[in-house]
Structure 1
Amino acid sequence: MRIPGPEPRTDGGAGAIAAAGGLHHYQRLLHATYGPVVRFQLPGTETAVSIADPVLLEATAHPDKRPERLFAFLTPLFEAGNIQVLPVEEHTPWRRLLLSVLAGRPSHERHFARFTELATALADRWAAGCAGPGREPVALQRDLTALTLRMICAYALGGEDTDADAVVAAFEVVLTEYLGRLYEVPSPEREEERDQRTEEALALLRTTVDRIVAAHETDRGTAGGTDRSDLIGALVAAGERPARIRDTVMATLLAAHHTTGVAVSWTLHLLGAHPEVAEQVADELEQVLGERTVPEYADLRRLTQLDRVLKESMRLFPPGPYGARETTEAITVGGYAIPAGATVFYPFWAVHMNPRYWPDPERFRPERFSPDEVARRPRLAHIPFGFGPRGCEGAQLATVEAQLVLAVLLKRFRFAPEPGHEVVPIERFVLWAADDIRMTVSLRH
């Protein structure tokens, strides 16, 4: 049985994707038109199939190969090979090591106090703005992605002697350049100037990591040894070579920077449009925290309403809008034959909007994540961090960061949409808002 989809185009599908506003918008349109399994054109691939049904996705949950051409734009970022497309024999032990750190409670608790300091510093700055004359709206994406970059730098790099501002600035240079290449963003600078600036920024980042690696190597000879709950410490203790350690830190910064800040931004955007839900979260924070302005790590488990709000936000606006695998052998999905070597797309947004599993899918309803409702849905109906052997290793860390930041901000502030400001989702490596998300912020007490 032939997989349904649009007729082939001479431009390889690029025009249809651009006309839809990006690949994630295009995939939603495809599935609304052709059903849960769709064949479509994608520049750089011979066969591309998108699957938006969580039950059918189970048949594709085990492949451990990413399509190299789709991630080729990141190759110059790495020294020991593109980590995004490591072959399975390298990827499996590397992933196991990362999960032992990123998904572990000791690692989260070790960095929680520093994360809290950084979130509180942003809240203090916003509070000062509330008190002054001529109060300006807050640009959520700008401020929150800067915050989460500082958080992930503290996590991945550690060390009191790290120049966080220099690292943040260097990484922004690198990220802007590689995203610009991916989306062909025009620049007034000459290519040689951009290349030189990017190389200087990469050199600073790698030199910073090298210095921290050297400190960990020294610690290995001491009685206490190096800390395995620290990302670089765990990589050093596992005997990873320096280039792979540098690459892992770069990949961690790349994956964790915009995603967490964007997830928190969309959550506050939704709460601003639904003040009654925001008040429910604020009431829960009052009950759990009392007079305290920030949570402790153990408090996060008790913030069930906040957790449901975050999950529903990531359903409506998944930070990473899609994933992709390459089939190594022919498979059958929903009666359709998919050949070996095909690119299989996981359109997270389309999966999250599937009305069969999410009634009235456009509506913001955090109660969808009550235990009873979760039990009635397939396992892969909600996949903001992907799934299978290439799912996000930092999912639990990102969740802790997002819950902490939301708790700190919602305990102190109310958020309301800026009048006249239109929020338009677009693709920018993550699900971004075209002109930021501007909101007015007011103190609760």
Structure 2
Amino acid sequence: MGTRIPGPEPRADGGLGAVAAAGGLHRYQLQLHAAYGPVVRFQLPGADMAVSVADPVLLEATAHIDKRPERLFEFLAPLCEAGNLQVLPAEEHTPWRRLLLSVLAGRPSHERHFGRFAELVTSLADRWAGQGGHEPVALQKDLTELSLRMIGAYALGGEAADPEKVVAAFEEVLTEYLGRLYQVPVPGTEEERARRAEQALASLRATVDRVVAAHRPGSGTDADRSDLIGALVAAGESAARIRDTVMMTMLAAHHTTGVAVSWTLHLLGRHPEAAGRVAEELDRVLGDRAVPEYADLRRLTYLGMVLKEAMRLFPPGPYGARETTEALVLGDHEVPAGTVIFYPFWAVHLNPGHWPEPEKFVPERFLPDEVAKRPRLAYIPFGFGPRSCEGAGLATVEAELVLAVLLRRFRFRPVPGHEVTPVERFVLWAADDIRMFVSPREAGAGRP
């Protein structure tokens, strides 16, 4: 028999009070693991009791699990018509995931959309340049809007007749379903909000249907396997499953890139030496070009390390969850089948046993020799195993492109006195945004 997993005593409120007192689930995890060690039993709102694991070596024992806890993902069910894609059973999930990876993780897909992504980033940079740098920019607001435009262009193949309408409809849906989840105040009565969200959802599905129709045999458009909808059509997926896949792809990606880039710029603003090194690398690799080509990203090695270190300190998605289908052993502990296993990415990334001085920003942690010293699962911003994020490769390409364009053109300085506090709102958000002064920089002027 294994030893009993340590943790706080159960509370009548299901743990909600403890989470609120800590300032959110992400902070509560840090407190739990500091108090009880690498494996903790705790009350998880919506799942009764869960086991949280912050040790990357012990996480290996869970890496094969291919089941998500249904109750924790129920809030997404209304967005799906053919079954909640977040909790599909393994036999259905595996072929769907394989198809998604063939598109999202492939270089042809990234290259196909790279030019459009670059146009969208350049448009934002031009807008910032036109503001003259006198007023601070709200990074997360502007960059998550950019992120949504990018994933909208990607998921719909750039073929939506009215991209602005797509963005507005998607934001309406998110406000309702995520606002309900986090009890964020939203204007209007419950009935009005539900009706607006329903209309927006119907509009999005109709948009997807029009794009799907253009890919059907006989439409005159070849199904391109580097295009998400084209690949789904070619694979014979049902119309409902295609609509669901586009919705979930947009949902998973609408904030990720913008949030990751925002935290990266926040950290560079507080570490001018690192910002100078990034600027020098960009000048060297890009020469007099304002925008990288896809092949340039591989040569921006320091920029890549900076992004990884930012996602270690501020993982866009701060945690994940699985459900055991059989008993398993975690160190000295036995975990029964049917247990919710909680992955506290933030606590894993700040584990001092694998990250010396974990709160410090040190991009050099991601030099190849340093990476080789750490367990495989010490760094998991996109999760791991058969339910990890299918769009990890695409999100990385987007984030590196956005950072390259913005840091090639601008310096970013913190707004004096502006507090930046991480809060968990589906992604790791900043409570009052990340406000920074943005001013033009001259090429060749790498060091501040």
Kept in 2: contact 1:156–1:249 (CA 8 A): yes
Instruction: Quote the residue 1:176 is aligned against.
Output: 175
Aligned to 1:412: 409
C-alpha deviation, 1:188, in angstroms: 4.2
Residue of structure 2 in register with 1:423 after alignment: 420
Q: 1:373 to 1:289 in 2, by over 3 A?
A: same
**Is the aligned partner of 1:154 residue 2:156?**
no
Which residue does 1:22 correspond to in 2? 24
Q: How far off its partner does 1:45 sit?
A: 2.1
CA distance in structure 2 between the aligned counterparts of 1:160 and 1:151, rounded to whole angstroms: 13
Structure 1 residue aligned with 2:50: 48
- Find the counterpart in structure 1 of residue 260 from structure 2: 263
Matches within 5 A, 1:12-411: 12-130=14-132, 135-218=134-217, 222=220, 225-411=222-408
The offset of 1:160, in angstroms, is: 4.3
Q: Output the CA distance in 2 between the equivalents of 1:159 and 1:352.
A: 36
Determine the C-alpha separation between the residues in 2 that align with 1:218 and 1:149: 29
8 Å contact kept, 1:159–1:212: no
From the superposition, tell whether residues 267 and 159 of structure 1 become closer, same or farther in structure 2 (CA, over 3 Å). closer
Q: Helix, strand or coil for the counterpart of 2:216?
A: helix
Deviation digits for residues 111-162 of structure 1, max 9, x if unmatched? 000000000000111111127xxx2100000000000100000000024452
1:181 deviates by: 1.0
Distance 2:312 2:160 in 1: 39
Structure 2 counterpart SS, 1:47 = strand
**TM, length-normalised to structure 2:** 0.97
Q: Does the 8 Å CA contact 2:101/2:390 hold for their aligned counterparts?
A: yes
Distance 1:127 1:188 in 2: 33
Displacement after TM superposition at 1:293 (Å): 0.4
Evaluate the alpha carbon distance shift between residue 299 and residue 79 of structure 1 in structure 2; reply closer, same or farther with a 3 A threshold.
Answer: same
Instruction: Give the deviation of 1:8 after TM superposition.
Output: 1.0
The alpha-carbon deviation at position 444 of structure 1 amounts to 0.3
Q: Deviation of residue 46 (structure 1)?
A: 3.8
Contact kept, 8 Å, 2:60 with 2:377, in 1: the verdict is yes
CA distance in 1, matches of 2:187, 2:292: 46
SS where residue 66 of structure 2 aligns? coil
8 Å CA contact 2:282–2:404 kept in 1: the answer is yes
- Deviations along 1:218-238, one digit per CA (max 9) or x if unpaired, are 46x65x721110000000000
CA deviation after TM superposition for structure 1 residue 439, in Å: 0.0
Corresponding residue pairs, total: 440
- The residue identity in structure 2 corresponding to 1:435 is D
Deviations 1:351-374 (A, max 9, x none): 000000000000000000000100
Task: Output the CA distance in 2 between the equivalents of 1:370 and 1:188.
Answer: 48
CA distance in 1, matches of 2:439, 2:278: 16
Deviation of the 1:184 alpha carbon = 1.7
Question: Percent identity over the alignment?
Answer: 77
Deviates further, 181-190 or 141-150: 181-190
Amino acid at match of 1:40: F
CA distance in 1, matches of 2:59, 2:208: 38
> How far apart, CA to CA, are the structure 1 residues paired with 2:405 and 2:245?
30
Q: What are the ranges of 5 or more consecutive residues in structure 1 without an aligned counterpart?
A: none
TM superposition outliers: structure 1 runs of 4+ over 3 Å: none
- 2: CA distance, partners of 1:286 / 1:409: 13
CA distance in 1, matches of 2:289, 2:348: 39
Moved more, 263-272 or 20-29: 20-29
Return the alpha-carbon distance in structure 2 between the equivalents of residues 333 and 112 of structure 1. 43
What secondary structure is seen at the aligned counterpart in 1 of 2:342? strand
CA contact (8 A) 1:46 1:342 kept: no
Aligned-residue CA RMSD (Å): 1.0
For 1:147 and 1:11, the matched residues in 2 are separated by 39
Cα separation, 1, equivalents of 2:186 and 2:268: 36
Q: What code does the residue aligned with 1:304 have?
A: T
- SS of 2:423's equivalent? strand
With normalisation by structure 1, the TM-score equals: 0.97
Q: Distance in 2 between matches of 1:408 and 1:315?
A: 22
